[in-house]
Structure 1
Amino acid sequence: MRFRLLFFLLIGTGSLQAQLNNTMFEQRNEVVKSDSNTLGLTLRTLAFNKNNEYFSKIADGYTLFGYQINPSLYYQPTSNTRFDIGVYVQKDFGNDDYSEIQPTFTFSHTFGDSKLVIGTLEGSLSHRLIEPLYDFERVMVNRLENGLQFTVNNNWIFLDTWIDWQNMLYVGEDDQEEVTGGLSMNYILMDKDFKISIPLQMVVTHVGGQIDSSPRPLQTYVNSAVGLMLDFHNGREGFVTGARVDGYYTGYKDFSTDQLRPFEDGSGVMLNATIFTKMHLDIMASYWKGNEFLTIQGGKLYPSESSTFKNPFHIEEQRELLILRFMHNLKLADGLVLSGRFEPYFDLLNNRFEFSHALYLNYSTDFKLLKNARK
């Protein structure tokens, strides 16, 4: 009860937020109108260290420590078309080999505020999904997405729809094709003294096929979320520069021909409150209550189904968490950001306190190598 009271006192004082500020992890292939016939180089890197001190039967404790490098050549033949060709490399410390080496290819075409992407997507945290629908750690363990994407981004709407083709099926294989698609939208209703916006999100996974020899059934799972977000801006001098409050109702539904997971449907409620400070320190409080809620790609703390190695069949029909997040982003140079996070949480139903801490170094930049490359 004391923890519930603390959380709602925070909300009462206006110290509230919503989804995490992960903009430093977003990767966009910017198509610049004035850069026709330009050849250039893009460099993206991420160094990461995240330690989860978890001991529950729902989520494992472990450490992620390593770096990612994604250099690519880009060529912009017209004012609204861009090609990127590169290589993605990931090194996990303590592993003598590279954990992943993959070629990347992206075709981007813009028209107005919209963009069509084919190939390696502007994926992962760039989708701006809330954590119950998309696990933050996927940026470190499963970052690349390949397929088709359409985005709209202007002063009133952020819209991202995509198809990520995860496993290709060939004739006669004892396997199944796997594809995940999604929708992430945030529509701004008003932006005056404060901002009101409506987020709508969905993730759908389909596992199946018609040309396989696998005996496993067709599987289709859906996660969804709808919410309301309020942003407040402090126009006066002071330590607090702004605040955000948002809440979401989330859902899970199993449309499979045979039910393989423990629940056919479920739901959850997430409330977030954040204050932003002039020291670039964000303080966020979150409350999560789930009822038979399962995830497709969501964070491991939220579902009623265990993802642990030693307790894979453990089930908790009800989940209720209070989470605090202290996030500091330090800009070292243009495109270079050092981020530190400390994220304790309290499991209200199991009377358990656990935490994680992390350090991230993001660097992203473009270099123009040759203008009028066709001449």
Structure 2
Amino acid sequence: MRYILLIAFYCCSHLPSLQAQESVFFTKKILVDSTNTSLGIEVRNLNSIKNKEYFNYIADGETILGTQLQTSLYYKASKEITLYAGVFLYKNFGEDRLDTAIPVFTAQYIKNSHHFTIGNLDARDNHGLIEPLMSNEKVLNERVLETGFSYTYRAEKTHLETWIDWENFIEPLDKEREIFTLGLNFKHLFVSTPKSKLSTSLQHIYYHKGGQINQKNRFSDDDASLKVNLNSTALGVAYAYHLNQKNVLFGSMYGLYSASNESNDTYSFMSGNAIYGFVGYQYDDWKFFTGYYKANGFTSAKSNTILNTYSTKTDNNSFNGIPDERYASHTEKYRELAFARFQYKKELAPEIFLGIQAAIYYQMNDALLENYEFLGNEKGQLDYNYGIFLTFSNIFGF
């Protein structure tokens, strides 16, 4: 049986900007080829153990332990069309129950360089977005499932992917709002020699929370009435230099900008900007890189929480039984971090990969909780995470 990787040229370093951003638990979808049988099964599995030791005022420290299994029957209706139907299962370790069971359906049309998908999208690589736009942890639970439509264009030097993920559907008089995300990732390879690769990247996330038919309270800013339109954009360059077949030096630099229709309790800044960059070294299956992030009110609805300028930390403190909500309105407009990440990824058997990943974040900005100044300034705080992951992705014809 012959396989074609959905984005095989990434693995050949054609677009080096993905090289450092790709986490060890990301997987590539394998396409059903004309040489495969017309009927078969697709199996995708991810097992994760990740511990986050975070003590800042922005992001929670927690442990993520779980397994997910997505199994689908596929039918190759024609040379260009493949249909999938199956189920996605997710379970947290340490619980007796199954946490999530969701039916999945996908129709895929591929013609030359053009790829169209409707239904459940393939988002197990976060569409190649950098972490200030989309957190890699989205892949570790049911949030990896995206539903909507995507179009991808793939050529030797150009990659374009655009998609809509419909996250919350509403009916008349629902108390919740409709939610969807539009995404764009454009990359072009300007320089390509046996030694050097230079590419540019434009990435964008548009997050919408609104709707016309749900219940609303006029002149209220509660969650059911508040409308959110948040745009987050990144423009950057990436360079990779191949010392030899196993040794690669790489680096990337991005400028980011965000704009919202209005400030609110979650997204406090109507506009913002940031810089994000890193340099690194890869030897065979080992990778290390270090970088810098500095924000001025920059906001993305999907970003890695530790990079946020607003707090998502759980308020689990109380006084005389009354929650003190010390983190509820906390912001750090000038978030500034130095970070480093180590990664190791090894193929143990065909399409079975072991991944080890660890990261540290050093906080360089001042951070004081209003009315809780006695808790101290978090400037100089060192946070870290580490994890072990096992992934499997393959197709089997009947």
Matched, 1:285 2:314: no
1:31/1:79 contact within 8 Å kept: no
Q: In 1, distance between residues paired with 2:146 and 2:204?
A: 17
- Helix, strand or coil at the partner of 1:25: coil
SS at match of 1:318: coil
Tell me the equivalent position of 1:364: 393
User: Would the alpha carbon gap of residues 125 and 326 (structure 1) be closer, same or farther in structure 2, given more than 3 Å must change?
Assistant: same
- Match in the other structure for 1:154: 155
TM-score, with structure 2 as normaliser: 0.84
The answer to whether the aligner puts 1:334 opposite 2:340 as a matched pair is no
Q: Which secondary structure state, in structure 1, belongs to the residue aligned with residue 132 of structure 2?
A: coil
Partner of 2:222: none
Q: Distance in 1 between matches of 2:197 and 2:176?
A: 48
Cα shift readout 1:207-246 (whole Å, capped 9, x = no counterpart): 111222223132101111000011111137xxx6111111
RMSD: 1.8
Partner of 1:13: none
TM-score normalized with structure 1 length: 0.89
Residues 302-336 of structure 1, C-alpha deviation per residue, up to 9 Å, x if partnerless? 12101101223211111111111110001101111
Q: Residue type of the partner of 1:63?
A: T
Q: Is residue 264 of structure 1 aligned with residue 270 of structure 2?
A: yes
Aligned match of 2:172? 171
Match of 1:242 in 2: 248
Equivalent position to 1:198, from 186, 195, 200: 200
> How far off is 1:97 after superposition?
1.4
Q: Which residue of 1 aligns with 2:334?
A: 318
Structure 2 counterpart of 1:340, one-letter code: I
Q: Name the CA distance, whole Å, in 1 between partners of 2:347 and 2:124.
A: 22
Q: Structure 2: 5+ residue runs without aligned partners?
A: 1-16, 218-224, 316-326, 366-378
Q: How many residue pairs align between the two structures?
A: 348
Q: Report the identity percentage.
A: 26
Instruction: Give the whole-Å Cα distance in 2 for the aligned partners of 1:98 and 1:306.
Output: 30
CA gap of 1:50–1:229, structure 2 versus 1, over 3 A, is same
Q: State the distance in 1 between where 2:121 and 2:20 align.
A: 22
Q: Which residue of 2 aligns with 1:12?
A: none
Structure 1 unaligned regions, length at least 5: 1-15, 370-375
Letter in 2 for 1:106: T
Identify if the C-alpha distance between structure 1 residues 17 and 206 changes in structure 2 by more than 3 Å, giving closer, same or farther: closer
Report SS of the residue matched to 2:309.
Answer: coil
CA shift, 1:21, in A, is: 2.3
Q: Residue in 2 aligned with 1:6?
A: none
- In the aligned structure 2, how far is the partner of 1:64 from the partner of 1:297? 18
2:350 is the counterpart of 1:344: no
Contact 1:19/1:130 (<8 A) preserved: no
The separation in 2 between residues aligned to 1:312 and 1:155, in whole angstroms, is 47
Match of 1:121 in 2: 121
- 3-state SS of paired residue (1:138): helix
Quick one: distance in 2 between partners of 1:326 and 1:217? 41
Report the Cα offset of residue 125 of structure 1: 2.4
Task: Give CA-to-partner distance per residue, 1:238-294, whole Å, 9 cap, x none.
Answer: xx61111110011111024x744311111110011121103x110011110111112
8 Å Cα contact 1:290/1:319 also seen in 2: yes
Deviations 1:29-60 (A, max 9, x none): 5142334x610111110000010000111111
